[in-house]
Amino acid sequence: MILPATQAVAALLAIPALSAGILALIPAYRLSARLNVAAALLSFLAALSLFGARMEPQPFLLVDDLNIVFVVLNTFVGFTTSLFSASYIGHEVATGRLTPAHLRFYHAMYQALLFAMNLALLANNIGLMWVAVEIATLTTVLMVGIYRTHEAIEAAWKYFILGSVGIAFALFGTILVYMAAQPVVGEGLDGMVWTVLIRRVGEFDPALLNVAFVFLLLGYGTKVGLAPLHAWLPDAHAEGPTPISAVLSGLLLNVALYAVLRFKMLLAANSAAIAPGPLMVTMGLASLLFAGLMLYRRRDIKRLFAYSSIEHMGIITFAFGMGGPLANFAGLLHMTMHSLTKSAIFFAVGHVAQVKGTQKLSEIRGLTESHPFLGWGLVLGVVAIAGMPPLGIFTSEFLVVSSTFARAPLLALPLVLGLLIALGALLLRLQGLAFGPAAGGTAPVKASHLPMVGHLALVLAAGLYLPPMLVAWFQHVARILG
């Protein structure tokens, strides 16, 4: 059933918000896990309804071709992660790592996070978008520390402190945009409404816009995990529950990037303002090269893939910074493929850490021998995230590289170097993880493999054939991004 756009938007906000309140009251694991999955599924179905209808921009809410990409991807991965979470959290409850009180808190915060991300993506008010990103940050901070170990609390505090600095920069940048708009659109709500700003931004003071974008890129770039603003991300991935690692890498980083793209479009529409692309290209390349080198030094399997997320967000930021129809198309495709692939990897890694009883790479060996399904799933995920053909990330990386060679050949050299460095590190780590004599625990795993298999199947299918409808949709959005 296709809902009208206004009802679909209401559902995308109301379903997770109400579910968070209900789940906070339910201690039973099976019931709360099923309700969490049901709520995430309903949110995904509501997001699909946005394809069939549009609504007029409201002062606080907006549905356009750009945010539909993010909303659909966000709700789909949110749904599949809830399926993975049901089996993963079941093991945590059975082993006593999570109590009934923790369980209520976990499921309530999961839905609160989905609500905050949906609100950030649908916001037409730049102040409301900032608030939604802050809510998403706070919920993930609380979930990272849910195990209450010394390391988890330290990771949560680091995330909170660095995230607060970043969000403060973003708030200052948002205020500067309002100040630039005020002489043109007047005081009040219109100075914060994105659809009003984009129409009148050509009349704004370019000096204020320039300073604003620097603060916004630093602020939201902290949430994206761009180097050197990334320090919270590896700890948050390593110490929090693995479903939250999947959501962080697959979704929350995209939401922060979406905010950067909205402000990039504003600056691009003012001919006197600085070009935002070179700043994004610089931070993207720095993140790619830094993370690629750091992959060789990781000793924890979740930290390893956390740095892989930093690498790929650098590639995506670089592509959007280059701009133009082909680079923007490549950025959208790479963002989608990365979300699907990285969450699939964390689905495998979460259960691997449970059955092996450790996250140390040195103690996890021979997965294809001890746990063939998980092992080969992880092999396929790592091969995909490393950019090997014929999987979807190879296609998107090829498009990023080819568009860069066509427009800025000198930039293509460090780009390809970073890709090769990361490829070498991941294949080196994969050899020990997956092959050879088994080491670590050999207990059977009680897991739902459907989310991992579904994601990897989509990534493989995208590498072999991109449906014309998907290509046309991404091309249209790429033109909007400029």
Distance between CA atoms of residues 130 and 328, nearest Å: 24
pLDDT at 439: 64
* Neighbouring residues of 5: CB distance < 8 A, sequence distance ≥ 6: 49, 50, 53, 54, 55, 63
Q: Are 285 and 414 in contact (CB under 8 A)?
A: yes
> Going by C-beta distance under 8 Å and a sequence separation of 6 or more, which residues neighbour residue 235?
154, 155, 158, 159
Residue 43 burial (10 A CB sphere; 0-12, 13-18, 19+): buried
Which residues partner with 439 through β-bridges?
Answer: 365
Residue appearing with tokens 């708009």: 181
Residues in Cβ contact with 470 at an 8 Å cutoff, skipping those fewer than 6 apart: none
d(C-alpha 94, C-alpha 2), whole Å? 40
Q: pLDDT value at position 96?
A: 75
Residue 155 CB-density burial (10 A; 0-12 exposed, 13-18 middle, 19+ buried)? buried
Model pLDDT, residue 447: 61
The low-confidence residues of the chain, meaning pLDDT below 70, are 1-2, 436, 438-447
The pair of structure tokens assigned to 453 is 């298999």
Residues composing the chain:
482
- What is the Cα Rg of the chain in Å? 21
- Give SS3 for 125: strand
| Tokens matching residue 256 | 């922060």
Strand, helix or coil for residue 57: coil
pLDDT at 338: 94
> What is the distance between the alpha carbons of residues 98 and 109, in angstroms, rounded to a whole number?
14
Buried b (16+ CB within 10 A) or exposed e, 215-240: bbbbbbbbbbbbbebbebbbbbbbbb
**Which residues, including other chains, have CB under 8 Å from residue 69's CB and lie 6 or more apart?**
332, 336, 473, 474, 477
How crowded is residue 88: how many other Cβ atoms within 10 Å of its Cβ? Answer: 25
Which pLDDT score, from 0 to 100, does residue 442 have? Answer: 58
Indicate the residue type of 125: N
Distance in angstroms (rounded) separating the CA atoms of residues 116 and 228: 26
